[in-house]
Amino acid sequence: MSSQKAPSIAVRGVGKSYSGVTVLHDIDLDIAPGEVHGLVGENGAGKSTLLKILGGAIKADAGTLSFDGDQVTVGSPRDAIAHGISLISQEGALVPALSVLDNVFLARWSHRGGLVSARTDRKRLAELMETTGFTVDPDARVDGLPIGVQQQVEILRSLARGARVIAMDEPTAVLAEHEKENLLGLIRKLAAGGTTIILVSHFLEEVLSVADRITVLRDGALIRTGNASETSPRELVGHMVGREIDVLYPDPQPVPDGAPVMLAARGLKRGLVNGVDLQVRSGEILGIAGLVGSGRTETLRLLFGADRPVEGVVEVDGVELAKHTPRAAMAAGVAMVPESRKEQGLVMVRSVAENVALSSLSGRRAGPFVKRPAEKTAVGDISKSVDIRAANPEAAIETLSGGNQQKALFAKWLLREPKVLLIDEPTRGVDVAAKTQIHHLITGLAADGLAVVCVSSEIEELLALSHRVLVLRHGEPAGEFPRGTSPEVVIAAAFGSHEGEPS
């Protein structure tokens, strides 16, 4: 987007370790100007770490970085920005209380005589929105925006800074299907304009479709870099995990006849949600599909009592919830894996073990005391079954890779052995292998009689996992589809009659 050309990047011998644990080892990587470079690997392989080093967010312990043959030091995000590198991190880096406009031009506001000139910024933002095709309200506070839109704000910010290299860490993990397509389109457009894009993603097809070359990392080492056109998802997975594995989605077992209704809701209303009814039987997996803003997440929150419905009834196992609070729902056997692990899911500064144990503390206590051996066993077992990879369960959970954090969040709720499990984006940021593992886990739990309600932006996942898919549109049910329905039909229902018009 910038008038200047992107530099060619040479990474040589880059390494990084944390407290003696090597997380990146001797990485050599060349990235050509205007290239779309895919970066793939299992959870914890070191992808984010490598991007953060490029983006100046952390310092490498070893190795060098050169642009157009000149060795450079990227010691801080400021340095990186000065070199035209912009990092869009996995966790997001917006200032929550500021407006879209202020975030886009953060610390780079146009000014005239020392005063910020909002008018100029507004014009620049309008231009940027035109090139990207995004439509965002410049005055909205970013913490009120859906995650997908927040991410657009981050992209706008990179462009506003005149980035010539944009490193994106799992940008599509939080996006709905059509938003993903838009983003991939934008990536192609930027690359055609000479901007280099480094893309980390667990969606291998997506990486294959957009990248020129793809690098595979495994356990902190670079396994190979190859042309995207000469490789297949299967081959990539093989390199990622170091062996051949099956990545087929398991089929859920049929719901037994006469299985009791475990969760029922009637006439749920609040904010976006305008009269949702649903019923899930024991052993059944209900998928909820819909566009961003269709009230999917809000519906789950109402079911769990995270927000109090202004109208409506929730029944668990035939008993109406007396109070709409998480505590009441949990006492009735409901668990919810929330949408955002950083804001709603995890206590980032506490250890992996403490986080996993948190929602089921009362189940393992002797008087007021935590039964530590029992906790250790419980956390150890569940961590193994969802495959959390942490060097040390006592380490702060913020030191885990994104995908492993997601698995820990999942583990935390499984430890409660719920009767009803509400899941918002079950596999956000989880690698292909672990994803199948989580799918097996969910279908297995359902087979044991758990009732599951699952929201996912990934329509393929939803259709593969669910017995039925409920489509929401403007906070109201817009159709219900059995297993085996084609994705196109579901998407059409989500859009309503005017296909292609985002709500």
Partner 1 sequence: MSVDTTPQTAAAPAPSAGTNMSRLAFRMRDYGIVAALVIIVIALSISTDTFLTSGNLVNLLDQTAVIGLLATGATICIISGVFDLTASATLALSAIIGVQVGRVTDVYVGMLAAVVAGALLGFVTGTVVVRSGVNSFVGTLATSMVYRGLAVMVTGGAIVYPLTASAEDFGMLTWPSLFGLTSATIMFVVVVAILGLVVARTTFGRRLYAVGGNAEAARLSGIRVGSIHVTAFMISGVCSALAGLILASRAGSAQSTMATGTELTAIAAAVVGGTSILGGEGAVWRAIVGALLLTLIGNGFNLLGWDTIYQQVLQGLLILFAVTMDRWLRKRTR
Contacts with ligand ATP by CB under 6 A lie at: 18, 23, 41, 43-49, 90, 399-404, 429, 431
174 makes contact, choosing from Mg ion, partner 1, ligand ATP, none, with CB < 5 to 8 Å by partner type, with: none
Per the CB < 8 A criterion, the answer to whether 13 and 62 are in contact is: yes
Choice between 112 and 327, CB closer to partner 1: 327
Under 8 Å CB-to-CB from 331, ≥6 apart: which residues? none
Contacts 24+ apart (CB under 8 A), 91-96: 91/342, 91/402, 92/147, 92/150, 92/151, 92/154, 92/342, 93/154, 94/142, 94/150, 94/153, 94/154, 95/142, 96/141, 96/142, 96/143
CB of 442 to partner 1, least distance (A): 20
Residue 48 touches Mg ion, criterion: CB under 5 A: yes
Per the CB < 8 A criterion, the answer to whether 317 and 285 are in contact is: no
Closest by CA position to 87, among listed 110, 64, 58: 58
327 makes contact, choosing from Mg ion, partner 1, ligand ATP, none, with CB < 5 to 8 Å by partner type, with: partner 1
Q: From residue 367 to residue 396, what is the string marking binding to partner 1 with x (rule CB under 8 A)? A: -xxx-x------xxx-xx--xxxxxxxxx-
Q: How far apart are CA 449 and CA 165, in angstroms?
A: 50
Contacts 24+ apart (CB under 8 A), 78-82: 80/54, 80/55, 80/56, 81/56, 81/161, 81/163
| φ, ψ dihedrals at 481, nearest 5° | -125, 140
Residue 25 touches partner 1, criterion: CB under 8 A: yes
Choice between 61 and 476, CB closer to partner 1: 61
CB of 340 to ligand ATP, least distance (A): 15
Choice between 428 and 468, CB closer to Mg ion: 428
CB of 238 to ligand ATP, least distance (A): 17
Within residues 382-411, the interface with Mg ion by CB under 5 A covers 401-402
**Contact region with partner 1 (CB under 8 A), list: 256-264, 286-294, 346-354, 443-451:** 346-354
| Residue 194 CB neighbours (<10 A) | 15
How would DSSP label each residue in 34-97? T-EEEEEESTTSSHHHHHHHHTTSS--SEEEEEETTEEE---SHHHHHHTTEEEE-TT----TT
CB of 347 to partner 1, least distance (A): 4
46 makes contact, choosing from partner 1, ligand ATP, Mg ion, none, with CB < 5 to 8 Å by partner type, with: ligand ATP
Binds partner 1 (CB under 8 A): choice among 27, 204, 223, 470: 223
Per the CB < 8 A criterion, the answer to whether 190 and 1 are in contact is: yes
Binds partner 1 (CB under 8 A): choice among 137, 143, 251, 343: 343
242 makes contact, choosing from Mg ion, ligand ATP, partner 1, none, with CB < 5 to 8 Å by partner type, with: partner 1
**Contact region with partner 1 (CB under 8 A), list: 116-124, 277-285, 362-370, 425-433:** 362-370
Alpha carbons within 13 A on the beta-carbon side of 228: 18
Q: From residue 281 to residue 310, what is the string marking binding to partner 1 with x (rule CB under 8 A)? A: -----------------------x-x----
Q: How far apart are CA 92 and CA 105, in angstroms?
A: 16
Q: How far apart are CA 253 and CA 279, in angstroms?
A: 18
**Contact region with partner 1 (CB under 8 A), list: 68-76, 226-234, 249-257, 326-334:** 326-334
The full length of the chain comes to 503
Which residues of the chain form contacts with Mg ion (CB under 5 A)?
A: 48, 90, 401-402
Which residues of the chain form contacts with partner 1 (CB under 8 A)?
A: 18-22, 25, 44, 218-221, 223, 242, 304, 306, 326-327, 330-331, 336, 338, 343-350, 352-354, 357-359, 361-362, 365, 368-370, 372, 379-381, 383-384, 387-395, 412
